[in-house]
Structure 1
């Protein structure tokens, strides 16, 4: 199986180069990796001490960010190397100042692994959640580099727990320690005789908790809301928007609506605007007009949604009628009720919050209307529901400190 894995990775590398000729995203994937070694060499010398943190994409980056920030603060004499696998992570964060070097991770072939590690020479390597690359892990073990997996989540259907998954189980054993999110993950690892797992929790809860400590003010939202009740729908897909727009068009109450679609292509945004029969304005077209006169704002840009949620009295998170649910924790941290669609299986925090009652799953326009009206009419019920979300996030926070405290031994031995 290990031979087959290497063959498939090398074959994939060749195929990607061909496909990149006609696919813009794959072109970024291929061309970006050609710059990796030069970016590292320009920023890291042989004398530097290096913390290497690897995230697959933007979601994993956000998950690992609390650990990255705390290590950066505690160990300023180390340089931070941050790598991404996906363009959707790297292209967004490549100009960030959070790390000394930000680059793509070369594919997991022995030659590329050796070249990368020779240039980076990390003193400690930290992978986030699902990032388990056999050749990288074997090479790090051979170099005696302490290597950790954080916020890891394991499920029965993964290859590690299959009869044919021996080579991947061997890869797991190259980790110095794995910090898992829950007891189930630790039990699964123990079932394949991996005994270096520690339950630390999910660092995402620390990440969202930090949101409350930041300045979330948005002047346009303050002027738009103007002390009215506010409904915010974030990361919506067409299936979600159909239900929400039907409610907006029918509504006669003094409610302000914000829709932040997952897709912000101009054609799609215009479809939403055309479908709404209330006074609506696009974020990109706002001037100094009196926003309080508008009923709906369409957020047709990225990077604002988290702050927009801070103005919500209730929220809807999209994806539950489409390809996959988006982040429910970002609105939940503000202590408000959250509504989602029916497809949330596999999203642990959504499953748990649905069971607790802080997040409500709906399957129809009628249920959405009923629930939204109930939150508007019954303030005590709305606040009680939102408090469930607040309490849940507080109880789940603390993974970052747990992990960093465990890692201190590595840095002490290096100094």
Structure 2
């Protein structure tokens, strides 16, 4: 083990006495579940019999991107159980909501242990996984070392490393190479990420596409969809989806500009973090009558701006929208997944900051499935073009759907590669191979 690897272990052990207090503080702020804090120390294992694969997604996007992979894994390996860990309460909540009923008996959720050597050992002693899969950029020195010592095969999928992170890792090239070498399979989510990962030591890394691009269509409650459609009627609808600070103001200014041409316009805003609702409501006050969904309000005729400050309803409101701006792209956040809108037939507008979804954004724009906007003025202009031309809207939706369909093969390919690295002899696990 490298010198920095040993230092990571010493640091994790030194922090162990302080971390329980930090976890309790997070629990008081709603960022942890008080009754489940033991899981963060690797406790509360309840391993089922037979083969077990550990999957980890830190936050919402990573966790939900695992759903099609989970389905593909369980279809191919009838004896397999999945332990899914998350790092956030929101991710755990949405996983419970979105997990298909048919898969639920074979999926166990826990909150991920913190990267403390003793806690990692406790977690692995209790669960004894036959393999481990991490999503995106979860590089944990102590947990990956513990897996390697036990000979547990590990994969890093949809792997992402930003230019800034890559520059930082170059200050510790030995540790980066050491951690990346522990993964038997590294699948980058973009060609840019592939180049950075290989430069840091993942020489066998491959690029097969983005797992987020292969996500299943977001769900919507049929009864609620029908109720809201009846309330909204034929009104044109602009949706600011998964917005961040700075983007709500642009959507509101676009709303104001569009009202001259579309006087009955309804604008929906779903902040990426619903806890920001009071801030967004204050911003919206000068732009019209704003109604808050979490308070029970509905987008009736008296509503100009509808604040969607609830979890798990993005699919509902994308189905109701005439055009959607996909957030984290007007501000330098890298962009959220635009194919969530594409799969639901909603024309897409995206800002200039799409580094995290560059290939997807470029493919959508090249195919005519999305339009790039730069600010509130170009957002208003593009939205007006789509809302005023049903043929244009249909053409954009069809082009975007084609790009989304191209990504649908990836979960099966990943599932087969992951199952191939597992020690089948430890669980007598029959595997259904693709034809």
Normalising by structure 1, report the TM-score.
0.83
Counterparts of 2:139 and 2:399 in 1: how far apart (Å)?
35
2:144 paired with 1:137: yes
- After superposition, the Cα gap between the structure-2 partners of 1:152 and 1:27, relative to the gap in structure 1 and judged at 3 Å, is closer
Q: Which residue of 1 aligns with 2:134?
A: 127
Query: Equivalents in 1 of 2:13, 2:138: separation in Å?
Result: 18
- Give 5+ residue unaligned stretches, structure 2: 429-435
Residue 307, structure 1, aligned to residue 316, structure 2: yes
The answer to whether structure 1 residue 277 and structure 2 residue 288 are counterparts is yes
Offset from partner CA, 1:336-364 (integer Å, 9 cap, x none):
33223443344425642575254334333
Q: After TM superposition, give the deviation of residue 401 of structure 1 in Å.
A: 0.8
Q: Which residue is 1:245 aligned to? A: 252
8 Å contact 1:19–1:26 — kept in the other structure? no
- Cα RMSD over matched residues? 3.5
2:343 paired residue number? 333
Q: Offset at 1:261? A: 3.0
- 2:173 aligned partner: 165
Equivalence map 1:114-263=2 (5 Å) = 114-154=121-161, 157-158=165-166, 162=170, 164-191=172-199, 194-208=202-216, 210-211=217-218, 218-237=225-244, 239-250=246-257, 251-252=259-260, 253=262, 254-263=264-273
Secondary structure, aligned partner of 2:215: helix
Q: Secondary structure at the match of 1:122?
A: coil
Residue 373 of structure 1 corresponds to 384
Distance, in Å, in 1 between the alignment partners of 2:199 and 2:273 is 42
Matched, 1:394 2:380: no
Q: Does 1:55 align with 2:57?
A: yes
Specify the SS of the correspondent of 1:222: helix
Greater mean alpha carbon deviation, residues 111-120 or residues 317-326: 317-326
Q: Is the 8 A contact 1:113 1:136 kept in 2?
A: yes
User: How far 1:71 sits from its partner (Å)?
Assistant: 1.9
Q: Deviations over 1:114-164 (max 9, x none)?
A: 211111011121111212223322332332322212111345552696263
Distance 1:247 1:135 in 2: 48
Structure 1 residue 296: Cα displacement: 4.2
Counterpart residue number, 1:5: 8
Secondary structure of the equivalent of 1:68? helix
Aligned residue for 2:182, secondary structure, equals coil
CA contact (8 A) 2:115 2:140 kept: yes
Q: 2:301 aligned with 1:298, yes or no?
A: no
Distance 1:300 1:18, change over 3 A: closer
Q: Is the 8 A contact 1:13 1:107 kept in 2?
A: no
What is the Cα deviation at residue 88 of structure 1? 4.1
- Following TM superposition, by how much is the alpha carbon of 1:218 offset from its aligned partner in structure 2, in angstroms? 0.9
Residues 1:91 and 1:294: Cα distance change in structure 2 (over 3 Å): closer
Question: TM-score by structure 2 length?
Answer: 0.80
CA distance in 2 between partners of 1:15 and 1:323 (Å): 34
Counterparts of residues 396-415 of structure 1 (less than 5 Å): 396-409=407-420, 410=422, 412-413=424-425, 414-415=427-428
Distance in 1 of aligned mates of 2:168 and 2:183: 14
> Structure 1 residues 28, 323: closer, same or farther in 2, change over 3 A?
farther
Bigger relative contact order, structure 1 or 2, given CA contacts below 8 A and separation 6+? Answer: 2
Residue 16 of structure 2 contacts residue 116 of structure 2 at CA under 8 Å; is this kept in 1? no
Structure 1 pair 176–350 and aligned structure 2 pair: CA distance change class (3 A): closer
Distance 1:407 1:216, change over 3 A: farther
How do 1:310-321 residues align onto structure 2 when only pairs under 5 Å count?
A: 310-321=319-330
Q: CA deviation at 1:264?
A: 3.8
Aligned CA distance change for structure 1 residues 239 and 135 (closer, same or farther; 3 Å): closer
Secondary structure, aligned partner of 1:218: helix
Residues 3 and 38 (structure 1), Cα distance of their counterparts in 2 relative to 1, 3 Å cut: closer
Q: Number of residue pairs matched?
A: 409
For the residues of structure 1 that align with 2:354 and 2:228, how far apart are their CA atoms?
A: 29
Of 70, 73, 88, 2:72 maps to: 70
- Contact 1:122-1:145 within 8 A present in 2 as well: yes
For the 8 Å contact 1:234–1:316, the answer to whether it is kept is yes
Over 3 Å counting, the alpha-carbon distance change for 1:411 and 1:203 in structure 2 is: farther
